[in-house]
Copies of this chain bind each other. A is one copy, B any other.
Amino acid sequence: MHQLVVTLDCPDRPGIVHAITGGIVRAGGNITELQQFSSPDTGRFFTRIQVEGSQPEELRGSIQDATEGFEAKLTVDDATRPVRTLLLASKAGHALNDLLFRWKGGDLPIDVVGIMANHAVLAPMAAFYDVPFKHRFVTAETKPDFEAEVRKVVEEQDVELVVLARYMQILSPELCEFLAGRAINIHHSFLPGFKGANPYRQAHTRGVKLIGATAHFVTGDLDEGPIIEQNVVRVDHTMDVAKLVRKGQAQESQTLAEAVRLFAEHRVLADGDRTVIFR
């Protein structure tokens, strides 16, 4: 049956769950999944609810009426509608390949509108998966053009999510701002350890016994955005940097794919600098 997904956050006050569920009942909806969280740090209430048996506009209106005065931020969406997604890449194809394979296999509720890259090497992969591919070598001079192009694609194609699938350029503060809350990056370390360049080399030098990957929202502070998902894998003293890279790539791909899935299913809500994840 047709499933809708509702997210709502507001200052936490008694009665909010009853109010929302009242709105759902009055719109003829039946709750199939409900999660909620009251954040002690920010005093905000968050919920994600899946509903069947109701129509989007009717449900939205009914919940809005029911939660009047709660200052709620409300979204109502079709639970299975694919989220319009733009992918950014450079040369490394593992994370990109993983996303594209899962998407084509129906495993990720996204719709990839295109791939933009600062190198041409991944063009055949894009062709195989039948995705528009644009590339432009990025230098200090051409970066503004590349970023303007990203912006244009986002605006003209109603892109809801930009995924940096090992895109190895730092976005300008302006583009970070423009994409706030809708751009996800994969960093190849277990943040906050080993920020910046060459995290696997840093990890080798420090002699850590686990390496990891972190998917986070892009912000103007490099590698400091709210964390969505992290994973680690065990390593040992015999592994050189190249082996750490290889070992870590599977973690990168999986961590990024999971973050994209969580976002596309409306399971990621922002609570200040932290995320609320309704799995």
* Interfacial residues, chain A to chain B (CB-CB below 8 A): 14-18, 21-22, 24-25, 29-40, 53, 93-94, 97, 101, 105, 107, 124, 128, 190-194, 205-210, 212, 226-232, 234, 236-238, 240, 246, 249-250, 254, 271, 273-277
CB of A32 within 8 A of CB of B25, answer no
CA distance A14 to B276 in the complex (A): 27
CB of B18 within 8 A of CB of A237, answer no
CB of A31 within 8 A of CB of B53, answer no
- Cross-chain contact of A18 among B24, B107, B250 (Cβ < 8 A): B24
CB of B24 within 8 A of CB of A207, answer no
CA distance A97 to B249 in the complex (A): 15
CA distance A237 to B42 in the complex (A): 12
CB of A31 within 8 A of CB of B21, answer no
CB distance from A192 to the nearest CB of B (A): 5
CB distance from A110 to the nearest CB of B (A): 15
CB of A229 within 8 A of CB of B207, answer no
CA distance A222 to B19 in the complex (A): 47
CB distance from A251 to the nearest CB of B (A): 10
CB-CB under 8 A from A231, the residues of chain B are 210
